[in-house]
Structure 1
């Protein structure tokens, strides 16, 4: 399974990511997975990405009840990067109903962990689960799989980020020259220096920057670079 992880990075769509993650978690011994990535600033909107193979009616019920507010697994991943072996004992009070309904769908025990990207610093959690009844023997197995789940989370994060970055770049519609100007501006180059690098006039470089500023919805070049970095359009 670990040897298959790099294949995640070649995924072109979220469906491909889900299909490859499903194969990976199944190879370990889990039936279900859920991945959640916090909202990313996209021109004109923000969104929260959730990818899962949980039963559809289970997900719909979770959303209708707004159980995310009391979900102890989500709460843990928001607060700590330390992996969590979760089971019935973690769900009390309002969350007990969430757990009982999850059990009815074959979701009883699992492992959850959180990661944060180096470039965009967005948090992501992944939780894998099956319907096994919790026991000390099962806990030992769950704990043994933790490093693999953490590794899977890192590859999944990178795969999803690449797809989102490609989608965002296409939506914004930067040209090749605009992208090059942004790249060199992020490296600290002036318009004159960029013009020498690209073999064009300084006024042409400034023209490209005016277009970039307009497309990114910012006020100046510095804000454009910061915006592009946050969206993953350029990397240092």
Structure 2
């Protein structure tokens, strides 16, 4: 079976992953089918702070720990590109000038020498995610042509991984916060601009009941008013815009 067909057939399984570990396992199988050895998925904090992010990767532990210890996140040319542009990037030694050359040389020593990186921000979750896939091959024009051909598959894989991870995170947050069905419905209608009276008519209850639900929501989300509750719920994906 050709790599492209193998990856495409595996996408529904990736989308339906129930845990982050399942996402990682399925991403790894897909990138291996394409011809890569390593992957790194970086997902920013909902607030968008560059120093608040989560990483899922199969990079060697020593490599990851050194990267974190030296705080390369703010100086990594690949991360910088992904934060600034949704256009996929083929990266290799020439993309790591100056002090970043040290980062490249350390990565290369672990078999991470060339790769493709891409980023996306979903309309539903509004969180930036980047995925970078790599192997240890030395860059040549021929390898560059192959990397160019793999870009669509990497982008497609990133889209499905983003959706799966965001759904899993949203469900975990929802379970932790513990909103009831009615509280979620009140938040949804508040997000589209409905007043308590209008929501009470939609849900078939009293306005006082709607306000009761909102007091509970505000407490559970750790905010001070309804507007902040809606903003918080949108930022973590509890409700859709």
Normalising by structure 1, report the TM-score: 0.92
Are positions 1:228 and 2:233 aligned together?
yes
Which is further off, 82-91 or 180-189? 180-189
C-alpha separation in 2, matches of 1:193 and 1:203: 12
Which of 83, 107, 119 is the matching residue for 1:102? 107
Cα deviation digits, residues 67-93 of structure 1 (max 9, x gap): 223211111111211111111111122
Which is further off, 164-173 or 17-26? 164-173
Q: CA shift at 1:222, angstroms?
A: 2.4
**Structure 1 residues without counterparts, runs of 5 or longer:** none
Which of 144, 148, 155 is the matching residue for 1:143? 148
Q: Is the 8 A contact 2:23 2:161 kept in 1?
A: yes
Are positions 1:203 and 2:203 aligned together?
no
- 1:56-135 aligned at under 5 Å gives the runs 56-135=61-140
Which residue in the other structure is 2:175 paired with? 170
Which of 4, 14, 20 is the matching residue for 2:10? 4
Q: CA shift at 1:154, angstroms?
A: 1.1
Give the secondary-structure state (helix, strand or coil) at the position aligned to 1:166: helix
C-alpha separation in 2, matches of 1:10 and 1:225: 27
**Given the superposition, is the C-alpha separation of residues 69 and 185 from structure 1 closer, same or farther in structure 2, using an over 3 Å criterion?**
closer
**Given the superposition, is the C-alpha separation of residues 132 and 55 from structure 1 closer, same or farther in structure 2, using an over 3 Å criterion?**
same
Q: Is the 8 A contact 2:73 2:79 kept in 1?
A: yes
C-alpha separation in 2, matches of 1:17 and 1:207: 39
Give the secondary-structure state (helix, strand or coil) at the position aligned to 1:40: coil
Are positions 1:48 and 2:59 aligned together?
no
Q: CA shift at 1:47, angstroms?
A: 4.4
Give the secondary-structure state (helix, strand or coil) at the position aligned to 1:51: strand
Which of 35, 41, 62 is the matching residue for 1:35? 41
Cα deviation digits, residues 19-78 of structure 1 (max 9, x gap): 01001111101000001111125xxxx941111010111111111122223211111111
Q: CA shift at 1:128, angstroms?
A: 0.2
Q: RMSD of aligned C-alpha atoms?
A: 1.6
Q: CA shift at 1:202, angstroms?
A: 2.1
Q: How many residue pairs end up in the alignment?
A: 232
C-alpha separation in 2, matches of 1:27 and 1:136: 22
Give the secondary-structure state (helix, strand or coil) at the position aligned to 2:64: helix
Which residue in the other structure is 1:156 paired with? 161
C-alpha separation in 2, matches of 1:224 and 1:61: 38
Q: Is the 8 A contact 2:125 2:166 kept in 1?
A: no
C-alpha separation in 1, matches of 2:12 and 2:167: 13
Which of 25, 33, 36 is the matching residue for 1:19? 25
Normalising by structure 2, report the TM-score: 0.91
**Structure 2 residues without counterparts, runs of 5 or longer:** 1-6
